């Protein structure tokens, strides 16, 4: 099984991709760690972000893709840009799940993942990808 976990932060879709099973997995596509949307007011940049995401998904033929949900209200709510990026990702021809952080945390709590395999900024995307592997 191939999963892609995504966390949207600032102007980037931070990505971690896994292949295998929950008991025996490996990180794939180590060369792509994030895909960014540079200028949100530029139609060309928005289209480029969409094409980059779509191309990435096509290259890897993921079984599951999940985005860690962001709060819609309150002090720590996601900004307009992050929701724009989420909409573009969801608009691909792939099934994309939005997964609440608490759901991810409770789903993988007994796994004790090894975060040394990814950069610090990729940990939340890694957790989302693990959760997707576990919830076949």
Q: List the chain residues with pLDDT less than 70.
A: 75-78, 136
Given this model, what pLDDT does residue 77 score?
Answer: 65
Given this model, what pLDDT does residue 113 score?
Answer: 87
Distances (CA, A) of 31 to 56, 82, 115: 11, 23, 17
Given this model, what pLDDT does residue 16 score?
Answer: 97
Given this model, what pLDDT does residue 76 score?
Answer: 65
For residue 125, give the nearest of 45, 3, 6 by alpha carbon.
6
Domain ranges of the chain: 2-134
Given this model, what pLDDT does residue 124 score?
Answer: 97
Query: Looking at the domain 2-134, which fold is it?
Result: Nucleotidyltransferase; domain 5 (3.30.420)
d(CA 31, CA 74): 35
């Amino acid at each position: 099984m191939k999963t892609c976990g995504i966390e949207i932060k600032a102007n980037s879709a931070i990505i971690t991709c896994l292949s295998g099973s929950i008991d025996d997995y490996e990180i794939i596509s180590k060369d792509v760690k994030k895909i960014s949307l540079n200028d949100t007011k530029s139609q060309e940049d928005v289209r480029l972000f969409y094409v980059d995401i779509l191309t990435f998904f096509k290259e890897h033929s993921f079984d599951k893709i999940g985005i860690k949900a962001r709060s819609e209200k309150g002090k720590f709510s996601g900004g307009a840009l992050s929701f724009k990026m989420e909409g573009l990702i969801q608009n691909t021809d792939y099934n994309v799940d939005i997964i609440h952080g608490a759901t991810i945390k409770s789903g993988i709590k007994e796994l004790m993942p090894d975060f040394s395999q990814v950069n610090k900024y990729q940990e939340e995307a890694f957790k989302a990808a693990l959760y997707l592997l576990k919830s076949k």
